Amino acid sequence: MKKLGILLLFLFIVAAVASVLWRKNRAIQPSLVITHVTLIDGTDSPPRPDSTVVIKNQEIAAIGSSSSMDIPRHSRVIDASGKFLIPGLCDMHVHLTGAGEPGGSREFILPLLVANGITTVRDMGAEVQKLMQLRKEIDAEKRLGPQMFFTGPYLDGDPPAYQPSIVVRNPVEAREAVHSLKAQGVDFIKVQSRLGREAYFAIAEECRKESIRFVGHVPDSVSAAEASNAGQTSVEHLTGVLLAVSSDEEELRRQQLAPEPPGRTPEKGLARSRAWQRRLLDTYSPEKEAELESKFVENHTWQVPTFPILVHFGFMTPRTDLAEDPRMVYVPRRLREIWEQGRKERMEHRTEADFNLLEEIVQRSLEIVGRMKSAGVGILAGTDIAAPNVFPGSSLHEDLVYLTRAGLTPREALAAATSEAARFLGRSAEQGTIEPGKRADLVLLDANPLEDIQNTQKIYAVVLRGKLLTREVLDSLLESARKSAANN
């Protein structure tokens, strides 16, 4: 017994010494220090020139004036004179596995996201296990990638519009689907356009019981006002919004839900759609828009317009042809073929009048988003990658430009991808702004984004979880995506 006691004491001493050495080693882990930078911290504070930011153990450890800050020993110091530091960007509507697995996300999407300064994403539709595996690889640092939040499969009617979907035809199936997805660990429930009214409101009720938020499309059978009252937390692509601000909303919804007439041809279908869209625009009601905006504010219903998908696919015109876009070199060949086939089909039988109408819809949507922001509606940046004609990473910067065209200031547009995104995700204490104690997800720019939002595209370096990714590293990510695209 005496020998056993001595052995246990020895093991205890060894463990204690190892623990002290581990903590000491962790304490002297080299810091990353960015000096002489103009700090745009994502709060309401004005830019802070000649700042120093100390990063340690994946967090922001200290911030201060470069003239007075002490730089920790053994630090890696980056002189950022003439540069601008912003929080890492968030794309609030992506489909990480939408380009085919296992290579689609890992070789095509993730490198482009990181190279474009996107450090957080909200995936809006994929199989849970694929997303869990991807998150595990990123968290274990087996590959570079953004922080992930996700919904899992869509909840949709029968037949569903997209896959992967869980078909929900009645309240019983609605409750089962919500319960199952929450048990699998999703962050949100995603609703789709073909849900029936009973199923939709049952999903809303079950989400309240399960304390999980639901997001997505406003179904065709439900009004945007009803969706807001039901507790839908975010509306994607402005679904239902243009209809909700029409003085002829109920009749237009009845027409939208009516079955296709016998003898339908592509030409007749386009003519019907053209007449419906024309009526939609001509019956715009400022009073109904004001009422809807008040309801969104009251119910905290956020909007994710996703202008890249609306412009480049939903409302495609000859002037949005991306065939010669230099970013096409990053798109796998098989995807390019799918994109081009889809483009041909959507352009077929359309006239100049159709294209003018589509551009009018885009302009009306921009104007409404601007007024929503002025009214206090929460606006988030998102793209809908990897949908056709929407490029991972760079399309988020496009969305920021569209948000400024809608009337948001560059600061407000930037917030839609940083501090506002963190607020929506319930992560304001951890990220979204550059403050001590928060995640060290940052983007170092060559020019001031508050002067021109397009300057978010002038990326000098990215800090991901405290790790510096220089321009050389970012270019290597782009090159790896290019090579993969050429072979796939």
State the greatest distance between any 2 C-alpha atoms of the chain, in Å, as a whole number: 96
**Residue ranges of domains in the chain:** 89-431
CA angle at residue 433 from 41 to 190, to 5 degrees? 140
Distance between CA atoms of 368 and 363, rounded to whole angstroms? 9
Give the count of alpha carbons within 13 A of 65, CB side only. Answer: 2
Q: Tell me what pLDDT residue 266 has.
A: 82
Q: Which CATH architecture has domain 89-431?
A: Alpha-Beta Barrel (3.20)
pLDDT < 50 stretches in the chain:
4, 7-8, 11, 14-27
Taking the C-alpha atoms of residue 387 and residue 373, their distance in angstroms, rounded to an integer, is 26
CB-CB contact of 410 with 421 (8 Å) = no
Strand-pairing partners, residue 147, are 120
Tokens of 63: 């911030």
The total of other beta-carbon atoms located within 10 Å of residue 271's CB is 13
Query: Distance (Å, rounded) from C-alpha 425 to C-alpha 421?
Result: 6
**β-bridge mates for residue 214, sequence order:** 189
What does the alpha-carbon distance between residue 130 and residue 102 come to, in Å, rounded to a whole number? 9
How many Cβ atoms are within 10 Å of 163's Cβ, its own excluded?
A: 11
Phi then psi dihedrals of residue 448, to 5 deg: -80, 115
Please report, for the chain, how many H helices and E strands are present, in that order: 18, 17
| pLDDT tens-digit series, residues 157-184 | 999 999 999 999 999 999 999 999 999 9
* Amino acid at position 273, single letter: S
- What DSSP designation does 211 have? T
Tokens of 67: 């003239």
- Identify the pLDDT of residue 21: 42
Amino acid at 391: F
CB atoms within 10 A of CB 402: 22
| Predicted pLDDT at 3 | 53
**pLDDT tens, position by position, 402-423:** 999 999 999 999 999 999 999 9
For the stretch 23-66, pLDDT in tens is 444 445 679 999 999 999 999 999 999 999 999 999 999 999 99
Cβ atoms of residues 216 and 192 within 8 Å: yes
